[in-house]
Amino acid sequence: MKLFITKQNYKIKKILSIIFWLVIWQITSQIIHQEILISSPIHVLNTLLSLILETSFWKTILYSFSRIVAGFLFANLFGILLSILSFRFKTIKILLDPIINLIKSTPVASFVILIILWFGSNNLSIVISFMMVLPIIYTNTLQGILNVDQQLVEMAKVFRIPFFSKFVFIYMHEVLPFYYSGCLIALGLCWKSGVAAELIGIPSGSIGERLYEAKIYLNSADLFAWTFVIILLSMVFEKIYLYFLFILKNRIEDRV
């Protein structure tokens, strides 16, 4: 009962803090009183509601969402695969290390320009999202694999535990927390970098293009509305992806 009340209190406090900042925002916009500099939350909400009614709004979301998420998923696939190969073969790790470090330290803008030069801007956000997520997933997964308890690995060898069970109960269980924390960082980053790339490359029909238009026409209400949409998309995708991981883990463990 006490735990329930504490949880409920926490939720109420969270909602109140959001309301507090919305009020601050409203007051600030009223004091400044210049829509170009800072739109009021009410105006942003109206803009958002009018955007939702447009078909192009949903097409824009679909365009950016599918590309950024595709980049994220490809990066996960390759990151996990490369980390396993790096663990298994030292030469691959030695070869990959400089590339991963290079990707980590190169500014997104440099990549964006290169990608535009090489491939054009149509699939820009896929590549940028992929490149930002890959090093995080690779590094975290590899760290997780290196962290696996070698005593358990030896135990599995002695008892001749089948590969799948060994993978699920020894490796996956140890690696998952590392992968999870990598995902938490990567999920936010793929949206930030993906949209930033679209803003520079301005692919037609993307969220980046809509942000660019908002900048050109000094439309801060549009800017805030689209920013809110990006945050929402990022949060929803994060929740869905992490929930999917949780379900997958439980399903596999129950089945083995």
Partner 1 sequence: MNIRAVDINKSFGNQIVLSNWNCSIPEKETTCLMGQSGCGKTTFFRILLGLTYPDSGKILGLEKQMISAVFQENRLCKYLNALKNVHLVCRDREISREYLEEVFEKVGLDRNDLIKPVSELSGGMQRRVAIVRALIPESTFVLMDEPFRGLDAENKRRVVECILEFTEGKTLLVSTHDIRDVESLHAKLIMMGS
Residues that bind partner 1 (CB under 8 A): 151-152, 154-155, 157-162, 165, 169-170, 173
Name which of 67 and 166 has its Cβ closer to partner 1.
166
The closest alpha carbon to 213, from 198, 203, 224, 223, belongs to: 223
Name which of 169 and 237 has its Cβ closer to partner 1.
169
Name which of 103 and 252 has its Cβ closer to partner 1.
252
Q: Cβ 221 to partner 1, closest distance in Å?
A: 50
Name which of 97 and 253 has its Cβ closer to partner 1.
253
Other C-beta atoms lying within 10 Å of the C-beta of residue 57: 18
Q: Cβ 172 to partner 1, closest distance in Å?
A: 11
- Kindly give the residue spans of alpha helices, DSSP state H, lying in the chain: 2-32, 41-52, 55-88, 90-105, 108-119, 124-146, 150-158, 163-166, 173-201, 207-216, 220-255
User: Could you tell me if 198 and 124 are in contact, meaning their C-beta atoms sit under 8 angstroms apart?
Assistant: yes
Q: Cβ 252 to partner 1, closest distance in Å?
A: 13
Q: Cβ 136 to partner 1, closest distance in Å?
A: 25
Residue type, 95: L
